[in-house]
Amino acid sequence: MSSQTSGNYYLPQPSHWPIVASIAMGFVGFGASFTVNHMPVGYALLGIGFLILFFMFAGWFTTVAHESEAGKYNKQVDVSFRWGMGWFIFSEVMFFAAFFGALFYMRGISVPDLGSLIHQELLWPGFKADWPATGPGIKETFSPMGAWGIPALNTALLLTSGATITWAHWGLLKNNRMQLIWGLVLTIALGMIFLGFQIYEYMHAYSDLNLKLTMGAYGATFFMLTGFHGFHVTIGTIMLWVILFRSVAGHFKADSHFGFEGVAWYWHFVDVVWLLLFVVVYWL
C-alpha cells in the first residue's frame, strides 16, 4: 500500500547522494582555488568535480522521481517539500542581500568616506569619490557596463521566460500536456540564450571595457553579483531540463506536481533577482 493511501509519512532509506555531492563540491572548490592561482591541475579538478556533480544530480533526481511516481509521497511529505524549498530560496535571498548590502555600503559610505579631505591628505591623495570606482591605489581605468545593451535584452529574455513557465503551469493544471511541454521548451531556450548573452557580455567587458574582477570595488561586486546570478540561471536551466524530461515521460498531474512548482518558484526567484541587478548594478 502506498503512503498516499495509507497515510504514513514516507521515510527514505539512507542515501549516498549527499556524500557524493560533498566529494564533488570538494573537487570544485579545490579546482577553483588552484585555477585562480594559475595552477594547471585546477582545470582537471574542476572537470572531475563537475562530472561527479552531473552524476549526482542525475542519480538523485532519478531516485526522487521514482519515489514520487511510486506514490510514496503523501500530503504531509508535499508540505515538507514546500517548506524545504521555501527555506532554501530564503537562504538564497539572504545571500544576495549580503552582496547587495556590500554594494550599497561601498557606494553610499565607503567610497565617499575615502574621498573625504582628511583621507586625501593622509592616505589617498587625488582619489575622487565617484561611482563606478576602482578604489584607491589602482592605476588602471575601465568603462562601466551600460544598461541598455545586452543587460536590457537579458532582462526581456528572463521576464518572457517567467511568462512561458507560467503558461506551462497553466497547461499542466488543464491537463494539456503539449502546452506544458512547449512552455518548458520555450523557457529553457530563453534561459540558454540568456546565458549565451551573459558569456558574450563578460568577453566584451574584459576585451573592450577593461572591466575585470581585479578592478577594485566595482569590478568585484559586478562580477560577484552577475556571476552568482548566472550560476543560479544555470542550475535553474538544468532543473528545467529535468522536469521537461519528466513531463515528456508523463509525470506530474494537475493535483500533484510539486516537482514542477518547486522549479517554477526557483525560476521566478531568479527573475526577481535579475530585475534588482539590472536596476542597481547596470542602471543606477
Evaluate if residue 135 carries a pLDDT over 80: no
Residue 125 sits in the same domain as residue 217 = yes
CA 228 to chain centre: 6
122 and 61 within one domain: no
Rounded to whole angstroms, how far apart are CA atoms 76 and 123? Answer: 61
Q: What is the DSSP string of 253-268?
A: BTTB-HHHHHHHHHHH
Query: SS3 for 55?
Result: helix
Rounded to an integer, the average pLDDT of 253-279 is 89
Question: What is the model's pTM?
Answer: 0.80
Q: Which residues contact 160 (CB under 8 A, 6 or more apart)?
A: 190
252 within some domain: yes
pLDDT tens profile 239-263: 899 899 888 988 888 777 888 888 9
Instruction: Provide the pLDDT for residue 3.
Output: 44
Nine-digit cell at 244?
A: 521537461
Whole-number pLDDT of residue 189? 96
How far apart (Å, rounded) are the C-alpha atoms in residues 23 and 29?
Answer: 10
In a domain, 7, yes or no: no
User: Domain range for residue 48?
Assistant: 12-72
Please report the pLDDT score of residue 283 as a whole number: 85
**Does residue 162 sit within a domain?**
yes
Residues 157 and 60 in one domain: no
Residue type, 26: G
d(CA 204, CA 141): 15
177 occurs within a structural domain: yes
Cis peptide leading into residue 132 (ω within 30°): yes
- How do residues 164-184 score in pLDDT, each as one tens digit? 999 999 999 998 999 999 999
CA dist., res. 196 & res. 194, Å (int): 5
Please say if the pLDDT value at position 109 is more than 50: yes
Residues 218 and 124 in one domain: yes
Backbone angles phi, psi at 253, to 5 degrees: -130, 165
Q: Is 3 a member of any domain?
A: no
Query: So what's the pLDDT on residue 253?
Result: 82
Q: Which grid coordinates are listed for 79?
A: 508540505
What's the pLDDT score for residue 139?
67
Q: In this structure, are 137 and 242 located in the same domain? A: yes
Q: Tell me which of 117 and 33 has the higher pLDDT.
A: 33
Could you read off the pLDDT of 48-88 as tens digits, one per residue?
A: 999 998 899 888 888 877 777 777 777 777 788 889 888 99
Using only C-alpha atoms, the chain has a radius of gyration, in whole angstroms, of 23
pLDDT at 266 over 70: yes
Average pLDDT in the chain: 84
> Residue 110: inside a domain, yes or no?
yes
Give the CA-trace dihedral at 73, 76, 81, 85, to 10 degrees: 170
Q: Is residue 5 part of a domain?
A: no
How many Å from the N-terminal Cα to the C-terminal Cα in the chain? Answer: 59
For residue 99, give the CATH number of its domain. 1.20.120.80
